[in-house]
């Protein structure tokens, strides 16, 4: 495997077009119909918690965290986590995850939710949301609806609909 000179840095406004093109290549037009995407439409991502991965000047990955309500509990929704297909399986997604979760923890956030593959996200501490506890604004496979407590006990307080939170 070729070693990459990878830089993880905070997302800046000038990254928006490159990130949108990356999402298009990685997820296609079907991304607009997903429940998590529709939820993120209602609240802008937090630039202080969103990061890009770059090899030289080439943007090869992105992760965003957006503010939401988990019932009456303030939380974050992670996603999309995107890596340029040609750069997959090189640890870029893991580096982005580690950086964004550390920033969320340092900023005092208590809970992060996402819709994704539990076998992948388990290594970062995510586990399935207990059934019936929270409801996404659209259909979601319960096995893919995951949570990570950054502050112990936060998930136990969260009950009800998951909605966008404007900051």
In terms of pTM, does the model score above 0.85?
Answer: yes
pLDDT tens readout for residues 107-142? 999 999 999 999 999 999 999 999 999 999 888 899
For 6-164, which CATH superfamily applies?
Gcn5-related N-acetyltransferase (GNAT) (3.40.630.30)
* Secondary structure of residue 72 in the 3-state scheme: coil
Taking alpha carbons only, the member of 68, 79, 60 closest to residue 19 is: 60
pLDDT tens readout for residues 67-88? 999 999 999 999 889 999 889 9
CA atoms of 154 and 8, how far apart (whole Å): 29
């Amino acid at each position: 495997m070729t070693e990459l000179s990878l830089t993880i840095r905070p997302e800046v406004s000038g990254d928006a077009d490159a990130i949108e093109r990356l999402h298009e290549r990685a997820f296609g037009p079907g991304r607009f119909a997903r429940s998590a995407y529709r939820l993120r439409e209602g609240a802008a991502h937090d630039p202080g918690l969103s990061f890009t991965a770059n090899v030289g000047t080439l943007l090869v990955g992105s992760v965003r965290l957006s503010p939401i309500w988990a019932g009456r509990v303030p939380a974050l929704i992670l996603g999309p986590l995107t890596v340029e297909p040609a750069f997959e399986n090189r640890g870029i997604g893991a580096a982005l995850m580690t950086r964004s979760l550390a920033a969320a923890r340092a900023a005092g956030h208590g809970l992060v939710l996402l819709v994704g593959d539990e076998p992948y996200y388990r290594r970062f501490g995510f586990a399935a949301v207990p059934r019936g506890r929270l409801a996404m604004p659209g259909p979601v496979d319960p096995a893919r609806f995951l949570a990570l407590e950054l502050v112990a006990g936060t998930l136990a307080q969260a009950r009800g609909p998951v909605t966008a939170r404007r900051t």
